[in-house]
Copies of this chain bind each other. A is one copy, B any other.
Amino acid sequence: MKYFWIVVLLITIPIYAQQQDEKQIREIYKEALSNGKGYTWLNYLSNQIGARLSGSIQAEKAVSYTKSIMDSLGLDKVMLQPVKVPKWVRGIPEFAYLESSSGFTNNVPVRALGGSVATPMSGIKAKVVEVQGIEELKALGTSEIEGKIVFFNKPMDPTIIYTFDAYAKVADQRYSGAVEASKYGAVGVIVRSLTLRLDDFPHTGAMSYGDIPLENRIPAAAISTNGAELLSTSLKLNPDIQFFFRQNCKTLPDVESYNVIGEIRGSTYPDQIMVVGAHLDSWDLGDGSHDDGAGVVQSMEVLRLLKATGYKPKRTIRVVLYMNEENGLRGATTYAAEAGKKRENHIFALESDSGGFSPRGFTFDTDQGNFAKVLGWKKLFEPYMVHFFEQGFSGADIGPLKKDKIVLAGLRPDSQRYFDHHHSENDVFKHINKRELELGAAAMASLVYLFDTYGLNNSNN
């Protein structure tokens, strides 16, 4: 008889567990879709606060606002973690035109890249050399480049299905184009906006001069894709046209800012920490609704969903709203350094920084054993149209936490529209769909629930 009961238990415990999981996930989705708070929070963050570039007043308002939301959620701890951040300011609006002959000009939309130096107040006017990336620039060399503006015009490849991969293949033009072009005597850099659309929005983003001296730094701006097409066509008709641009952005001394952190303390393993994160800062052109306001409110919503469904986590679940992902990653590096100093045991970190679109799945950056364990949960997500579980890079802000045993995860929403908005004036609240945002938060909360319930692979917790 003893064996009979063991057999019964062996059969019924997993069935019971699966039913419990299904029930909890159903409750999470139900709460998210019928009573979700993220859309209202994001409306405030986007429309009452707006763009949140590191070091700006709006970034500080966003710190206060999200802290006040977390204070209202009945968490066990809410805190601000000091972070020194760079402060770059755009200044007066940029202005640019191409000049086919004296007096014949076409204005084109440009915006300074984040971190760029200014042009002289009178602007820069020079001939243009168009290249399809840094390799082509190097092949041309000083004789072709000296004294000119380099125009990086390699487009994102539309045939790549996952748009972030297309982005990654050409983003070096924006990040390193200026430092590379300056080696060959260029006087300025214009970069095709990193979007798959043809439109009039310049898309800014981070660039770096590395450690080259100040006097060698040349100004760099993004041009809209329609502007890039016009410039490229004009150059084919007449290689001698000139390009003018003016910008007066600058970098000020670093300022004090904060990561915003809130947590529910684990009932059984409080020292095992699970992070759910997103970045609070944004570029300054839109209001940062998709990048990454969506992730910010989804992360806070994860805590609210777990509490509202009556779930008591065994492990500590900590939301971290990182400051300065866009132009420095100082929040992420500070958080990881502090965690290291305190010898905190982070076992899991989930990031949402790919827009507030309909969730398709997750990436996981971890070892085979943990990935195999996670794959076992995939069927629980399929009724919610979440099908994609793959290994891969999972997020910039959680990256510094990477070590042997941790599972890093990234929410993967549908990527098709992301670069329509990314880093441009077009990243605004009206492009957020309430249900898509809520479904993302529910998927995240469900994954956090499962990880809290089952822990790392080969642990007894």
Residues of chain A at the chain B interface (Cβ within 8 Å): 29-30, 33-34, 158-159, 161-163, 196-197, 358, 360, 383-385, 387-388, 414, 416-417, 420, 433-436, 439
Contact = CB atoms under 8 A, between A and B. Distances in A.
B388 A417 contact: no
B435 A29 contact: no
22 contacts: A29-B159, A29-B161, A30-B159, A33-B158, A34-B158, A158-B435, A161-B439, A163-B435, A196-B435, A197-B434, A358-B358, A358-B414, A358-B416, A385-B414, A387-B387, A387-B388, A414-B414, A416-B433, A416-B435, A416-B439, A417-B435, A417-B436
A196 B33 CA distance: 10
A383 B388 CA distance: 10
A173 to B, nearest CB: 20
A356 to B, nearest CB: 11
A385 B360 contact: yes
A360 B358 CA distance: 11
Nearest to A383: B161
A380 to B, nearest CB: 13
Contacts of A439: 161, 416
A360 B359 CA distance: 11
A249 B172 CA distance: 60
A420 B30 CA distance: 20
Given A433-B416, A433-B417, A436-B417, A162 B385 contact: yes
A385 B385 contact: no
Contacts of A360: 385
A417 B430 CA distance: 13
A163 B33 CA distance: 12
Contacts of A420: 433
Nearest to A417: B433
A416 B387 contact: no
A236 to B, nearest CB: 20
> Shortest 4 CB-CB distances between A and B: which pairs?
A387-B387, A33-B158, A30-B159, A416-B435
B416 A161 contact: no
Contact of A161 (B158, B161, B385, B433): B385
Contacts of A34: 158-159
Contacts of A416: 358, 433, 435-436, 439
Given A196-B435, A417-B433, 8 more contacts: A29-B161, A34-B158, A158-B435, A358-B414, A358-B416, A387-B387, A416-B435, A420-B433
A217 B382 CA distance: 45
A330 B196 CA distance: 40
Contacts of A33: 158-159
Contacts of A385: 161-162, 360, 388, 414
Nearest to A385: B161
A433 B358 CA distance: 14
